[in-house]
Amino acid sequence: MTRSLIVEADGGSRGNPGPAAYGTVVRDAVSGAILAELAEYLGEATNNVAEYRGAIAGLAFAHQIDPEAVVEMRLDSKLIVEQMSGRWQIKSPDMRALALQARSAFPPGQVRYTWVPREQNKRADALVNEMIDGALQRGLSTIRRVDGAPSEDATAEDVVGGIDVERSRIVAEERDTARPRTTMIGWADLGRPTVTVLARHGATALSLEKRFSGRGGLDAPLAPIGVAQAEALAEELSHREEFTRIVASPLLRTRQTAAIVAERTGLQVEIEDGFAECGFGEWDARTFIEVREQWPDALEAWLASTDVAPPGGESFAECRDRVEAARQRVVERYAGERILVVAHVTPIKILVGLAVDAPLTSLFRMELPPCSLTTLAWFADGNSSMFSFAEAAHLRAAPVPDGT
Report the catalytic residues: 201, 277
CB atoms within 10 A of CB 83: 23
How far, CA to CA in Å, does 366 sit from each of 249, 272, 308, 362, 374? 20, 23, 20, 7, 12
Question: What backbone phi and psi angles, to 5 degrees, belong to 205?
Answer: -60, -35
Quickly list DSSP for 165-232: HHHHHHHHHHHHHHSPPP--TTSS---PPEEEEEEEPPPBHHHHTTB---TTS--PPBPHHHHHHHHH
The DSSP letter of residue 274 is G
Quickly list DSSP for 350-388: HHHHHHHT--GGGGGG----TT-EEEEEE-TTS-EEEEE
How far, CA to CA in Å, does 231 sit from each of 93, 206, 262? 49, 20, 11
Pairing assessment for the beta strands 70-75 and 111-115 based on DSSP bridges? parallel
Cis? peptide before 107, omega within 30° of 0: no
SS3 readout for 46-89: CHHHHHHHHHHHHHHHHHHHCCCCEEEEEECCHHHHHHHCCCCC
Dihedral of CA atoms 268, 274, 275, 278 in degrees, nearest 10, equals 150
Angle between helices 316-333 and 345-356 (to 10 degrees): 70
